[in-house]
Amino acid sequence: MYSGKGYNLKEIAIKIGLILSIPAVLSIISLTVLKAWDITNVNDSFVFIIFQVIAYVTFLSLNKRFRYFISGMLNLKVNTKHTVIYVVAGLVLFSISSLFLLGFGIGSDDSQRENLNLDQLSQAINLQNIIMALAIIAVIPFYEELLFRGLLFTTIYNKYGSAWSIIISSLIFGFLHSDLFVLTTIYGFVFNYIFLKTKSLIPGIMLHMIWNALVVLL
């Protein structure tokens, strides 16, 4: 899938571990300071998401090797018809999976809305909510696809082939979404399959953004 200077699994573990853990640590420190200063009008999820976006942007802007690594996956021309088909099929599969798991009382997108306090976004229009919505809809899906498909999936694929890359990267994607493990693992399978078939990150990014927009806005 990629023939240039790739990554090894140890490098991937370190990079993704740092990108995901640093925002968590910084948000905990920041929220502790805010509470000590008696500032209570800041959404906890907003603070975490801001640091998450900063971590993603910093990683991409400072890492020339990574930009070169994923450039071909972003610039690759994709068939518009096939992209639409994959995106629509993905939305249908996501909807069915969410409803099915919700019926069995397993964590679904409703729990994600609760964890991120997304219901507050529709109750008040302010700068904090607008930034949070834009980050969830546009920024985070973009960078997650670069990391989990462009970096993680491709590295495993180059070493172990398609089957293991789909399974392992989907499970890791699900695990890192904690209580949404089952649902996001299913999402990971869909994203990975689309990336495998198209060799491009664009269809998965579009699907990810549209689905996040539906979760936030609906």
DSSP string, 136-192: IIIIHHHHHHIIIIIIIIHHHHHHH-HHHHHHHHHHHHHHTTGGGHHHHHHHHHHHH
**Cβ atoms within 10 A of the Cβ of 8, count?**
10
Whole-number Å distance between alpha carbons of 26 and 35? 14
Of the pLDDT bands very low, low, confident and very high (cuts 50, 70, 90), residue 40 is confident
115 pLDDT more than 60: no
* More reliable by pLDDT, 177 or 70: 70
pTM above 0.85, yes or no: yes
Question: What is the percent of the chain with per-residue pLDDT over 70, rounded to a whole number?
Answer: 87
Q: Is the pLDDT of residue 114 over 60?
A: no
Task: Of 13-27, 62-76, 160-174, give the lowest mean pLDDT range.
Answer: 62-76
HSE-CB at 184 with a 13 A cutoff on CA atoms is 22
- How high is the pLDDT of residue 136? 92
Average pLDDT, the chain: 86
Tell me what pLDDT residue 5 has.
61
Structure confidence by residue, pLDDT tens digits, 118-142? 555 555 677 888 888 899 999 999 9
Higher pLDDT, 77 or 68: 68
Q: Is the pLDDT of residue 117 over 70?
A: no
pLDDT above 90: residue 51: yes
